[in-house]
Structure 1
Amino acid sequence: MEYDVVIVGAGPAGLSAAIRLRQINPEISVCVVEKGSEVGAHILSGAVFEPTALNELLPEWKSQGAPLNTEVAEDHIYLLKNGEKGSRIPNFLAPKTMHNHGNYIISLGNLCRWLAEQAEGLGVEIFPGFAAAEVLYHDDGSVKGIATGDMGISREGEQKDSYMPGMELHAKYTLFCEGCRGHLGKELIAKYSLDEGKDPQHYGIGIKEIWKVSDEQHQQGLVVHSAGWPLSESSSTGGGFLYHIEDNQVVVGLITDLSYTNPHVSPFDEFQRYKHHPVIKQYLEGGERIAYGARAIAKGGLQSQPKMSFPGGLLLGCDAGTLNFAKIKGSHTAMKSGMIGAEVVAEALKAERQSDDLVEYAQAYQDSWAYKELHQQRNFGPAQHRWGNLIGSAYSFIDLNLFNGALPWTLSDPIADHDCLKTADRCQPITYPKPDNKLSFDKLSSVFLSNTNHEEDQPIHLQLKDPSVPLAINLPKYNEPAQRYCPAGVYEVVTNESGEKAFQINAQNCVHCKTCDIKDPTQNIRWVAPEGTGGPNYPNM
């Protein structure tokens, strides 16, 4: 199938690009492919949403029914200590990027569903349930488009009765908007050396739940952020969040930076502990947990951002690392990157160019408020990694509040997250409390709430480059950390009937967070797209 533009991923960046293209020229043919069963099924974010880009893209969004229903009413920021104590930080002492006046607490999945309706109303074709499995190239090396994955292939690689071959979608330009650690984006970055001269990308794993609570516990519009405990006990960095949305619902989550050094750390279990802190527990106790999910975030900032153009396409949104980690927000910057991409592509098509390297995108992006915002906060993440949450935040207060991000240096963060792990014998083992099934829970009951499902008889989409590595290297050196960094119980070291250890991959559980592809210390795990519609089905995340 031939299009002017093919977009991979129906997230904020991809849908904003699609809408903007058709706004500029309704004759441009635009196709969006989305691996989730529906638009929004794989979307997970906190999310406090800054409407800057939405105001530009669809100024009448309020009258058009955009699902921005809860405006932030109050900000609380805490430094948590030792599981019992917590100090509230005065707002004037917090980095100003943490202030949320004028923002909204939303379900990003529901916003994407609404954006998809606006795009389809403009004539964009959206194909949910089709995973982009392969980049197609012209003979000259430029991108030609993508191929969706075959469906109906057995675990052994044979065609089943349900076999349906994938489609080739050809385009004059292809925009990759897969979100954090996109598997095709990763390929493109390597093929075209887009990250040459850059710091490695840095990541966090965000784990989130939605709770239904009583009237007495609910304060619609309240935003709570925290640093310190429980991550401080394992010398890890990151932070927690708790947001009160409409319908007596509370969103709670924890972001663990994947630069942690202790291989015994389990981000899932750190999150379960987090909910027991009195500051957090007061809003959840007696409530009902109704949703669970996890997703990695790209938080390296400008120092880690690759070149975003290559022959035949663009890398946009979190595929390129546009998230503003100092704000813990990426949707508005992702949307803006998509809008700029659409404007550059529309100009190229108008000039009858195709498959070019749209190098002019870099200047258009640098002229935007999105780039200026990321430049202002460029030292926030490296400061947290170098000095921890407390000193790092103090530095950021000086940098952002006093100097508005204009200090004349840029901190580097040159060690990749997977290279940060120390060997297990050098680190203190961590004994996590057992779940009480009131505030804390196990992985399998959590995955159940994510509505995750994959066709069971299909090739495993979590590929080991060398199947011997987990037991031969990762187990003796790092106590095989995949057992702990995965928030869905995908990886297990089991003892078989003969008494021998085996590395088991429960691919059916995978929530597509991409943490394994990021944190595996030997970079032996490769995440590829499973059959379309596979993975979580988030209703309201």
Structure 2
Amino acid sequence: MNELPPRESMEFDVVIVGAGPAGLSAAIRLKQINPDLSVVIVEKGVEVGAHILSGAVVDPIGIDTLLPDWRNEQNHPFTTEVKEDHIFMLDETRAKQISNRIMPKLLSNHGKYIVSLGNVCRWLATKAEALGVEIYPGFAATEVLYNEDGAVTGIATGDMGVEKDGSQGPNYMRGMELLGKYVLIGEGARGSLAKTLINKFELDKGRSPQKYGIGIKELWEINPEKHHAGLVQHTLGWPLDDATGGGSFLYHMENNQIAVGFVVHLNYKNPYLSPFEEFQRFKTHPAIRPIFEGGKRIAYGARSLTEGGWQSVPKLTFPGGALIGCSAGFMNVPRIKGSHNAVLSGIYAANAIADAIKSGRSHDEITEIENGWRDSAIGKDLYPVRNVKPLLSKYGTKKGVRLGGFDMWCQTLFHFSLFGTMSHGLPDYLYLEPAEKHKPIEYPKPDGVVSFDRLSSVFLSNTNHEENEPCHLKVTSLDVQEKSELTVYAGPSTRYCPAGVYEWIEKDGRETYVINAQNCVHCKTCDIKDPNQNITWTCPQGGEGPVYPNM
């Protein structure tokens, strides 16, 4: 291998990883406070919004705080206000509506907006650039840089043009070092740099394990007579059994489009379960199928989401920077919302960093961020719902929903919980049980009308990776994968992956593990759910992965 040339470097006041709602909001707020601050955002997607996937119904509290006059603009993305809001409990043939009267008021979606979160980020990016923020899409942050005291001083982007064997190809280009007085990590759920920092600085010490779900989404164009702009629908129950947490969303957007998605909590036990197949089966329900018949599926994607909430948020700060957004885990599970807290966390971190820089500080730990967030609007949003996810996990969907609703009402009316603050127990991967305890699940074949296979779905995600680059999905031990993942757990990676990345195939009389890394949509479920924690997701070359148009 050729000796690596030195990296070029650039210096800024603040370096931000990830052009999501948190990172963009932090950048905007920093420049609002002090236009002279130099701020850079590095984004692994080929463009801002390319890797952004969410439902999404957005609580505007974050945008109202960041950009109070946004409603007076003509080209903002918040064009569809919620008009109707329903939740249903499904069994195999029926859909029973749950009365809104018994739902805690904090779950109401009235006054919220149905959006493409990717388009919200694109809009925020124009605001940031107008203020002088530098945004570098197509560059993946792959390494954290430290000074001799162990404080974070910046990040390095990955080398480009590396061949599969690790050699430097004809288009090889060394990564850049982006150095800053402070670094904000806003990679989203299960970010690779956040994972490194949490481990290095023990930021999760004393916290409940972070919990995750996988969200799978499709965008459809449906017949106009079936479309009701502003309609929000959620379901619980079928096709999942009572012990498996999750549910669906259907959001009627503008232009006869509907966003439909399915979330499965990743603490499920059955290794034969396939979140993708459960989603496809959901769309065949008698109350759901007619919505999509005669329509056209136009986009597909998947992404892990943080579900631990209040108990699982790690310590936010470390010497030289902080975690923001879903890198910290600010999603509100019962509200199915996280972007408002991501925006607020970016603002909150920016305020503290701007004050620190004004005082002449750099590379130290801004403890004000960690010490104050639980008393902020973010904390006030997460605290009243902190027991909902543990109750669902412990008691199952039907009983857990009732107990969770009761607890939220107690929090709302009396600011008190009979449950105190419940622990989440174990990390999600430890819940998976050996295959011998379960029966295989026979999923129906896709009909090509409302249900589809994984490969045709991945095609709609516009996913691309160079074939001759090193695999970004690192398996520590193929021997462990064969003896445990396959033999004990019946190969769950072939089912929990929503993109057909992993396969066990017979070759020369032996089962061989095949990784189709070019299919990866960067959901990171493998990094979370592998029962041996034997798979590590790392960033491929910048600009690769899905290119979501308006997810």
TM range, normalised to the smaller chain?
A: over 0.9
- What does residue 327 of structure 2 align with? 319
- What does residue 527 of structure 1 align with? 537
1:279 Cα deviation from its structure 2 partner: 2.0
- What does residue 7 of structure 2 align with? none
Q: Name the SS for the 1:468 alignment partner.
A: helix
Q: Which amino acid aligns with 2:344?
A: K
Q: 1:275 aligns with which of 265, 279, 283?
A: 283
Q: Which amino acid aligns with 2:181?
A: K
Q: 2:347 aligns with which of 331, 336, 339?
A: 339
Alpha-carbon distance between aligned partners in 2 of 1:278 and 1:249, rounded to the nearest angstrom: 20
1:72 Cα deviation from its structure 2 partner: 0.4
Work out whether 1:223 is the aligned partner of 2:232.
yes
Q: Which amino acid aligns with 1:102?
A: G
- What does residue 428 of structure 2 align with? 417
Alpha-carbon distance between aligned partners in 1 of 2:397 and 2:131, rounded to the nearest angstrom: 45
Work out whether 1:251 is the aligned partner of 2:262.
no
Alpha-carbon distance between aligned partners in 2 of 1:94 and 1:442, rounded to the nearest angstrom: 36
- What does residue 4 of structure 2 align with? none
Q: Indicate the larger mover: 363-372 or 193-202.
A: 363-372
Q: Which amino acid aligns with 2:451?
A: S
1:215 Cα deviation from its structure 2 partner: 1.1
Alpha-carbon distance between aligned partners in 2 of 1:279 and 1:50, rounded to the nearest angstrom: 28
Q: 1:199 aligns with which of 208, 217, 224?
A: 208
The unaligned stretches of length 5 or more in structure 1 are: none
Q: Name the SS for the 1:269 alignment partner.
A: helix
Alpha-carbon distance between aligned partners in 1 of 2:345 and 2:168, rounded to the nearest angstrom: 40
1:366 Cα deviation from its structure 2 partner: 2.2
Q: What is the CA deviation profile of residues 208-228 of structure 1, one whole-angstrom value per residue up to 9, with x for unaligned ones? A: 001111111101110000100
**Does the 8 A contact of 1:3 with 1:29 survive in 2?**
yes
Q: Which amino acid aligns with 2:66?
A: L
Aligned runs of 1:502-541 on 2, under 5 Å? 502-541=512-551
Alpha-carbon distance between aligned partners in 2 of 1:147 and 1:69, rounded to the nearest angstrom: 38
Alpha-carbon distance between aligned partners in 2 of 1:281 and 1:40, rounded to the nearest angstrom: 30
Number of equivalenced pairs: 538
Q: 2:462 aligns with which of 431, 434, 451?
A: 451
**Does the 8 A contact of 2:410 with 2:417 survive in 1?**
no
Alpha-carbon distance between aligned partners in 2 of 1:217 and 1:362, rounded to the nearest angstrom: 47
Q: Which amino acid aligns with 1:455?
A: E
Work out whether 1:467 is the aligned partner of 2:475.
no
Aligned runs of 1:389-404 on 2, under 5 Å? 389-404=397-412
Alpha-carbon distance between aligned partners in 2 of 1:336 and 1:392, rounded to the nearest angstrom: 29
Q: What is the CA deviation profile of residues 361-403 of structure 1, one whole-angstrom value per residue up to 9, with x for unaligned ones? A: 1233123111111011111111111111211111122111243
**Does the 8 A contact of 2:410 with 2:416 survive in 1?**
no
Alpha-carbon distance between aligned partners in 2 of 1:402 and 1:356, rounded to the nearest angstrom: 41
1:97 Cα deviation from its structure 2 partner: 3.4
Q: 1:48 aligns with which of 8, 33, 57?
A: 57
1:499 Cα deviation from its structure 2 partner: 2.0
- What does residue 57 of structure 1 align with? 66
Q: What is the CA deviation profile of residues 191-234 of structure 1, one whole-angstrom value per residue up to 9, with x for unaligned ones? A: 0000001111000000000111111110111000010001127x
Q: Which amino acid aligns with 1:530?
A: P
* Identical counterparts, % of pairs: 55
Alpha-carbon distance between aligned partners in 2 of 1:460 and 1:6, rounded to the nearest angstrom: 27
Q: What is the CA deviation profile of residues 261-308 of structure 1, one whole-angstrom value per residue up to 9, with x for unaligned ones? A: 000000000000000112221211111000000000001011111000
- What does residue 500 of structure 1 align with? 510
Q: Which amino acid aligns with 2:472?
A: H
Q: Which amino acid aligns with 2:463?
A: T
Alpha-carbon distance between aligned partners in 1 of 2:441 and 2:244, rounded to the nearest angstrom: 13
Alpha-carbon distance between aligned partners in 2 of 1:473 and 1:396, rounded to the nearest angstrom: 36
Alpha-carbon distance between aligned partners in 1 of 2:149 and 2:442, rounded to the nearest angstrom: 55
Q: Name the SS for the 1:279 alignment partner.
A: coil
Alpha-carbon distance between aligned partners in 1 of 2:534 and 2:267, rounded to the nearest angstrom: 18
Q: Name the SS for the 1:447 alignment partner.
A: helix
Aligned runs of 1:339-488 on 2, under 5 Å? 339-404=347-412, 406-407=416-417, 409-488=420-499
Work out whether 1:69 is the aligned partner of 2:73.
no
Aligned runs of 1:87-98 on 2, under 5 Å? 87-98=96-107
**Does the 8 A contact of 2:82 with 2:112 survive in 1?**
yes
**Does the 8 A contact of 1:96 with 1:400 survive in 2?**
no
1:61 Cα deviation from its structure 2 partner: 1.2
Aligned runs of 1:17-166 on 2, under 5 Å? 17-64=26-73, 65-82=75-92, 84-166=93-175
Q: Name the SS for the 2:145 alignment partner.
A: strand
Q: Which amino acid aligns with 1:266?
A: S
Q: Which amino acid aligns with 1:456?
A: E
Alpha-carbon distance between aligned partners in 2 of 1:380 and 1:334, rounded to the nearest angstrom: 20
Q: Which amino acid aligns with 1:277?
A: H
Alpha-carbon distance between aligned partners in 2 of 1:319 and 1:281, rounded to the nearest angstrom: 35
Q: What is the CA deviation profile of residues 437-463 of structure 1, one whole-angstrom value per residue up to 9, with x for unaligned ones? A: 001000000000000001111110000
Alpha-carbon distance between aligned partners in 2 of 1:98 and 1:78, rounded to the nearest angstrom: 14
Q: Which amino acid aligns with 1:215?
A: P
Q: Which amino acid aligns with 1:433?
A: P
**Does the 8 A contact of 2:211 with 2:306 survive in 1?**
yes
- What does residue 3 of structure 2 align with? none
Q: What is the CA deviation profile of residues 9-44 of structure 1, one whole-angstrom value per residue up to 9, with x for unaligned ones? A: 000000000000000000110000000000000000
Q: Which amino acid aligns with 1:329?
A: K
Alpha-carbon distance between aligned partners in 1 of 2:274 and 2:107, rounded to the nearest angstrom: 26
**Does the 8 A contact of 1:95 with 1:393 survive in 2?**
no
1:92 Cα deviation from its structure 2 partner: 1.2
1:501 Cα deviation from its structure 2 partner: 1.2
1:104 Cα deviation from its structure 2 partner: 0.4
Q: Which amino acid aligns with 1:517?
A: D
Q: Indicate the larger mover: 254-263 or 91-100.
A: 91-100
Q: If the length of structure 1 is used for normalisation, what is the TM-score?
A: 0.98
Q: 1:213 aligns with which of 217, 222, 225?
A: 222
Q: Which amino acid aligns with 2:57?
A: V
Q: Name the SS for the 2:344 alignment partner.
A: helix
**Does the 8 A contact of 1:340 with 1:364 survive in 2?**
no
1:98 Cα deviation from its structure 2 partner: 2.8
**Does the 8 A contact of 1:96 with 1:397 survive in 2?**
no
**Does the 8 A contact of 1:213 with 1:287 survive in 2?**
yes
- What does residue 6 of structure 2 align with? none
Work out whether 1:308 is the aligned partner of 2:316.
yes
1:516 Cα deviation from its structure 2 partner: 0.3
Q: Which amino acid aligns with 2:80?
A: T
1:96 Cα deviation from its structure 2 partner: 3.1
1:66 Cα deviation from its structure 2 partner: 1.6
Q: If the length of structure 2 is used for normalisation, what is the TM-score?
A: 0.97
